[in-house]
Chains A and B, each alone.
Chain A
């Protein structure tokens, strides 16, 4: 009788532990959102990616449709090439869609925003965006502002 009670308590304990692990994986972590099953990869060429990171979201109209899977520098023209994995249900993105690197809020994390074009042709696996807009680097912006201000003051 005594050992039955102990077995019961241990069973509940292990069950609670496994539930906690499952909760960690599913509710607190994001088991199902970082990996994109299927889908296809497109590339964007940027002069400057700013603080963009791998795993940053790729959004269209503010909704996440993919993730950044890789960032590297093209050794020929020194532009940054960003690989983006798009989920497979969004296979009708127009060929002339523009990709820009945006910031969530003033100091938030950076992400890639897609502006759909009007072309009848769609992007396929391995294609590259023709229209890209680089990240706005806040320090450069402030520098330009100060520069133009001081020029204005000199007149």
Chain B
């Protein structure tokens, strides 16, 4: 009986949490225009979530591209098709790995920091103090971070993809001897600006929205104790990563299903 009760309580809590997250998103979106008018706040947050995440994105993109070049080469060379290496690397990165991996890294690096920061503001009653001074904490603290996340992730994903292509170029062309002209021309022949690149960018915008939403909500909704903030940070990384992977399947099925 207690098991059933626990299940029921868990379900009710989950649905209530989803409802709070929805209401919170509504409050954030309605105060987004206020945050856009004070653009300096957004710029600061783009620095915090974007510029500071750049290093991990660059390093990860380089190595993922190099691994793709290596794996792709050894798979394709068996079929005598190593001339298509550029296409394999570019399509993998633009369609999937660029948006998805940068979103996962973004959730780990920037999302967790957002949650911890907002959660700690709540635990130290800074948010309550703002309300006392008639400053809306959602407009002042949450909305700029939300907008910054949506701006930063697509840019990071684009950089990830470009650096990955150069990583593949380094391994495939410089080390393994695929012709440089063939590498680039097979890529340009096969990658479509709308079907592949634009869809990849749309994916990363959606991921940016989802990851940042989850991160700021978990921070805002955290139990205001040290333990509560640490739990909220963990939840952000886990939930955001799962959301990215689930959304990725959904978006892929919608975008590439009927080619």
Contact = CB atoms under 8 A, between A and B. Distances in A.
Interface stretch (B20-28, B41-49, B224-232, B247-255): B41-49
Interface extent on A, as a size class? 20 to 34
A25 B197 contact: yes
A31 B194 CA distance: 9
A31 B193 contact: yes
Nearest to B79: A107
Interface stretch (B2-10, B109-117, B152-160, B211-219): B152-160
A149 interface: no
A24 B158 CA distance: 7
A86 to B, nearest CB: 19
B158 A30 contact: no
Contacts of B158: 17, 20-21, 24
B19 interface: no
Given A10-B51, A28-B165, A16 B155 contact: yes
Interface string A5-46: 011011001101110110111011111011000000000000
Main secondary structure of the interface of B (DSSP, over half): helix
B172 interface: no
B221 to A, nearest CB: 28
Contact of B192 (A6, A20, A27, A29): A29
Contacts of B165: 28
A119 interface: no
B90 A28 contact: yes
Interface of B: 40, 43-44, 46-47, 50-51, 54, 90, 94, 151-152, 154-156, 158-159, 161-162, 165, 184, 187-189, 191-193, 196-197, 201
15 contacts: A3-B40, A3-B44, A13-B46, A13-B47, A13-B51, A13-B152, A14-B151, A18-B155, A24-B162, A28-B94, A28-B162, A28-B165, A28-B187, A28-B188, A30-B192
Given A21-B155, A30-B192, 18 more contacts: A3-B40, A6-B44, A6-B47, A9-B51, A13-B46, A13-B47, A13-B54, A14-B151, A16-B155, A17-B154, A17-B158, A20-B159, A25-B193, A25-B197, A28-B197, A29-B94, A29-B188, A30-B188
